Structure 1
Amino acid sequence: MKVEQIYTGCLAEAAYYIESNGEAAIVDPLREVSPYIEMAEERGAKIKYVLETHFHADFVSGHIDLAKKTGAEIVFGPNAQPNYEAHIATDGEILHLGDVQIKVLHTPGHTMESTTYLLIDEEGEEHSIFTGDTLFIGDVGRPDLAVKTDLSREDLASHLYDSLREKIMPLGDEVIVYPGHGAGSACGKNMSKETFDTLGHQKITNYALRKDMTREEFVKEVTENLVEPPQYFPKNAVMNKMGYESFDEVLNQGNTPLSAKEFETVANSTGALVLDTRDKDAFAKEHIPGSIFIGIDDNFAPWVGALIVDLKQAIVFIAEEGREEEVVTRLSRVGYDNTLGYLKGGIEAWKKAGFDIDTIDQVTAFEFAKGHKSDYSVLDVRKESEYESQHVEGTINFPLDFINRNMAELDRDQGYYLHCQGGYRSLITASILRSRGFEKIVNIKGGFNALKETDLKLTEFHEPLTLL
């Protein structure tokens, strides 16, 4: 028996490969399925099952394509009603995989179809559980992401309380917990950086598994301080439930080289968003006017999902040479399938064709601290919780997460310095503001990490200043 965790840091997501005696199962695959197929082929195994723990909200699963390409059976737990062929397992059902068994444990709460898969080894011993978003390391799934339900988050939390105590906590302490996500995912509140653990250790350290915890305490602790989920979450859940276009077709369309003239024509004729995925300093130095920066080397897909409201938005993009397919792939992981091509030759080709470029002014933290324009406001674009923990005195909290909603609070005639924690989010913000007509924008390089090293006064646990 082999179990392999396949972890994707950008999404803080874990898929799993389980193999026994020539048969394999994939748990919660990502959108691009060739890595799973190649893994099985290299090991001489046939993929028999695609096990889905629930209708995911934070990414588009590859279950449909993987089943079509391999003949594997898609499996969901009770209550799932997908718009395609799948096996809807019953609670307690046993799936046979080579010499091992996989027991279906219906664990509603995160969503009503949420299911945990219990792996039983060749000796009949309970080996591990694949919990999806039911149980994380250090946390449990948030109960407010279910699609089209009449149940309140308190109702779902109550179901989750029962699922944990009736289905998971009675299992042996030596059972390994393999969750669907780790730290950085918005599917929970306080997940550990560890990506697996023993159930026994979780019973000791996970707040939600306290033996003496009442239902009322559980519901309160699980539902309090939930931040608003990213806007793309319910849209991805619908795609996972209803089906989607083949990834091969998405990749074929998006991975199309365009000359500078073709790029401009496509962007103008389709209303495509121009997305620049290069290094942040390269973008600040020179970029296509009106383009939006979301760099590929950070939390690319989650920020695309948070900021680009329409999943069907046409997109053309600029990428570092050789990374074009990666960009299309990572866009499709969160449901952005309408990519129309990339700028062949990059920004140099754009300039050679005689087209205009734009820049973003930047200063170092020490330059800012030494002397900055007094008539410019300073926007701290980190999350409210980060800002309240510690910030530079006199700055205004303007979280990037809610820029589309709060844009009207800014004045186009006003000048703004921007910073985040390290410089990535502030440059995204700067690009959005520039694309919407804000001319007086200066990015502070290195963000709060660099500002803390200056003699600027810091404030902790302070009520956020407001713009109006």
Structure 2
Amino acid sequence: MNIQQIYTGCLAQGAYYIESKGEVAIIDPLREVEPYIQRAKADNAKIKYIFETHFHADFVSGHITLAKETGASIVYGPLANPSFDAIIAADNQEFKLGDITIKVLHTPGHTMESTTYLLKDEVGRDHAIFSGDTLFLGDVGRPDLAQKAADMTQEDLAGILFDSLRNKIMPLADDVIVYPAHGAGSACGKNMMKETVDTLGNQKKMNYALRADMTKQEFIAEVTEGLLPPPKYFPLNVKMNKEGYEDIGAILERGRTALSPEDFEIAANETGAVVLDVRHQDEFVKGHIPRSIFIGLNGDFAPWVGALLADVKQPILLVAPVGKEKESVIRLSRVGFDGTLGYLKGGFDAWKSAGKDYDKITAVTADEVSEEINANKVPLFDVRKESEYKKEHVVNAINIPLDFLNEQFTEFPKDRIFLLHCEGGYRSVIAASILKARGIHNLIDISEGFSAIKASGIKVTDAVCPTTFK
């Protein structure tokens, strides 16, 4: 028996490759399926099953393409109703894979079709669970994503999740290994550990949601407390996972169309495409195509694209580092953004060499503006998460989290200079690019963000300050 976790940090997502006696199962595969196929070939094995724990909201799974390429059967748990051929397994149904067995444990709550897969080893002992979004390390799946589909409240779903955990998962032995679908950084939970594998016994000790003396009402209250609105692209990804999508090969072929600066400009004007610049933020600050949006590959690229562009049908034109065009298209497709029309051949340097207009972002160090900030002479906007802001922030800073920038951009002044910062410089440049694309140019970015601010002697506090600028 061979179990391999395939963890993608950008999405904080874990897919799984399981092989026994030449037969392979893949659990929650990513959109690009060739690595699974090549791994099976290297093992001289055949992919037999593709197990899906639920209809994912935060990424587009590769189940349909992988089934088409390999002939493997797609398996969902009870209550799933996909628009394509799949085995809808019964609760406790078992599937043989070489010498091992994978048992279906229906664990609704995160969604109503959510299912945990229990792996039994060669002698029939419970070895591991693949818990999807039902159980994370340090947390459980948020119960608010499937309210409309299930015609239930988040409290109803939380109560169902409580029963699933107590009746199906917690009775398992402490030495059972937990393989979750996500880790820290995913928007599918709120309190996940940085580790990606653990034992169930340790989770019973460490995970607040698995306390033995916890009542259902306590569970509901704690699990639903502090839930932020989910990213707007989540329902669109669910729809794609449930109803189907275009093959990634066609998406790559279209997205890797090389466009000269002239053709790129014409395409941008004629299609209304978003010009998405995925270079490093330091390069974007020094020069970029006017009204382009920065979301760099070096950060949490795909989740920020999903949160800020929102509409997966949005046409996109790429400005990418030379050699990173394919990676960019793949990572966009992971969250359902399949509308990449092409990329700027030769990158931004080609744009400049062609004599095209370009824009810049004014950036300063924290030391250069420390006096103005301490004297509160210039508005300072903090685009970190609310939880980061509450923990520690600059005195008088105004918190508008990047996640909600599109809804709150009117709170930024248009008639005076203001400053922007995040933790390390990535998110504030994203914010600056969006504001400039909307015609707000009177901004200055603080390079290196809050880490540099603290080192500069600017006054910080852990007391909550007003969050709107008057």
Tell me the TM-score normalised to structure 1 length.
0.98
Q: Is the 8 A contact 2:75 2:87 kept in 1?
A: yes
Question: What's the counterpart of residue 45 of structure 1?
Answer: 45
Question: What's the counterpart of residue 78 of structure 2?
Answer: 78
Q: The residue matched to 2:110 in structure 1 has which SS?
A: coil
Q: Is the 8 A contact 1:278 1:295 kept in 2?
A: yes
Q: Is 1:55 the counterpart of 2:93 in the alignment? A: no
Query: Superposed, which structure 2 residues align to 1:73-152 within 5 Å?
Result: 73-146=73-146, 148-152=149-153
**Rounded Cα–Cα distance in structure 1 between residues aligned with 2:42 and 2:366:** 51
Q: The residue matched to 1:16 in structure 2 has which SS?
A: strand
**Rounded Cα–Cα distance in structure 2 between residues aligned with 1:306 and 1:53:** 23
Q: Is the 8 A contact 1:375 1:415 kept in 2?
A: no
Question: What's the counterpart of residue 423 of structure 1?
Answer: 425
**Rounded Cα–Cα distance in structure 2 between residues aligned with 1:464 and 1:164:** 40
Q: Is the 8 A contact 2:372 2:378 kept in 1?
A: no
Percent identical residues: 61
Structure 2 residue runs of 5 or longer lacking an equivalent are none
Q: Is 1:386 the counterpart of 2:408 in the alignment? A: no
Q: Is the 8 A contact 1:413 1:438 kept in 2?
A: no
Query: Superposed, which structure 2 residues align to 1:102-251 within 5 Å?
Result: 102-146=102-146, 148-251=149-252
Q: Is the 8 A contact 2:158 2:219 kept in 1?
A: yes
Give the partner amino acid of 2:366: A
Root-mean-square deviation over aligned CA pairs = 1.2
Superposed CA offset, 1:417-467 (max 9, x none)? 100011000000111111111121110001111101122111213133312
Question: What's the counterpart of residue 68 of structure 1?
Answer: 68
Q: Is the 8 A contact 2:376 2:396 kept in 1?
A: no
Give the partner amino acid of 1:411: P
Superposed CA offset, 1:147-183 (max 9, x none)? 5221111111111111111111111111100000000
**Rounded Cα–Cα distance in structure 2 between residues aligned with 1:421 and 1:101:** 46
**Rounded Cα–Cα distance in structure 2 between residues aligned with 1:3 and 1:287:** 45
**Rounded Cα–Cα distance in structure 2 between residues aligned with 1:17 and 1:171:** 22
Q: How much does 1:309 deviate?
A: 2.4
Q: How much does 1:374 deviate?
A: 6.7
Question: What's the counterpart of residue 18 of structure 1?
Answer: 18
Query: Superposed, which structure 2 residues align to 1:325-404 within 5 Å?
Result: 325-371=326-372, 376-404=378-406
Q: How much does 1:371 deviate?
A: 4.7
Q: The residue matched to 1:452 in structure 2 has which SS?
A: helix
Query: Superposed, which structure 2 residues align to 1:275-286 within 5 Å?
Result: 275-286=276-287
Bigger Cα displacement from structure 2, 142-151 vs 92-101 = 142-151
**Rounded Cα–Cα distance in structure 1 between residues aligned with 2:350 and 2:190:** 44
Superposed CA offset, 1:276-326 (max 9, x none)? 000101000011111110000000000000000211110001111111000
Structure 1 residue runs of 5 or longer lacking an equivalent are none
Q: Is the 8 A contact 2:400 2:467 kept in 1?
A: no
Q: How much does 1:376 deviate?
A: 3.5
Give the partner amino acid of 1:387: Y
Q: The residue matched to 1:350 in structure 2 has which SS?
A: helix
**Rounded Cα–Cα distance in structure 2 between residues aligned with 1:209 and 1:310:** 36
Q: The residue matched to 2:302 in structure 1 has which SS?
A: helix
Superposed CA offset, 1:14-59 (max 9, x none)? 0000000000000000111011111111111100000000000110
Question: What's the counterpart of residue 264 of structure 1?
Answer: 265
Paired residue total: 468
**Rounded Cα–Cα distance in structure 2 between residues aligned with 1:400 and 1:194:** 26
Q: Is the 8 A contact 1:363 1:444 kept in 2?
A: yes
**Rounded Cα–Cα distance in structure 2 between residues aligned with 1:374 and 1:264:** 42
Q: Is the 8 A contact 2:398 2:465 kept in 1?
A: no
Give the partner amino acid of 1:377: P
Question: What's the counterpart of residue 461 of structure 1?
Answer: 463
Question: What's the counterpart of residue 451 of structure 2?
Answer: 449
Superposed CA offset, 1:321-362 (max 9, x none)? 111000000000001000000001111111121211110010
Give the partner amino acid of 1:399: P
Q: How much does 1:370 deviate?
A: 4.3
**Rounded Cα–Cα distance in structure 1 between residues aligned with 2:145 and 2:169:** 21
Give the partner amino acid of 1:464: P
Question: What's the counterpart of residue 8 of structure 2?
Answer: 8
**Rounded Cα–Cα distance in structure 1 between residues aligned with 2:463 and 2:192:** 23
Question: What's the counterpart of residue 255 of structure 1?
Answer: 256
Question: What's the counterpart of residue 321 of structure 1?
Answer: 322
Q: The residue matched to 1:202 in structure 2 has which SS?
A: helix
Q: Is the 8 A contact 1:138 1:202 kept in 2?
A: yes
**Rounded Cα–Cα distance in structure 2 between residues aligned with 1:374 and 1:466:** 15
Q: How much does 1:375 deviate?
A: 5.6
**Rounded Cα–Cα distance in structure 2 between residues aligned with 1:166 and 1:395:** 47
Tell me the TM-score normalised to structure 2 length.
0.98
Q: How much does 1:255 deviate?
A: 1.1
Give the partner amino acid of 1:84: F
**Rounded Cα–Cα distance in structure 1 between residues aligned with 2:282 and 2:98:** 52
**Rounded Cα–Cα distance in structure 1 between residues aligned with 2:217 and 2:341:** 51
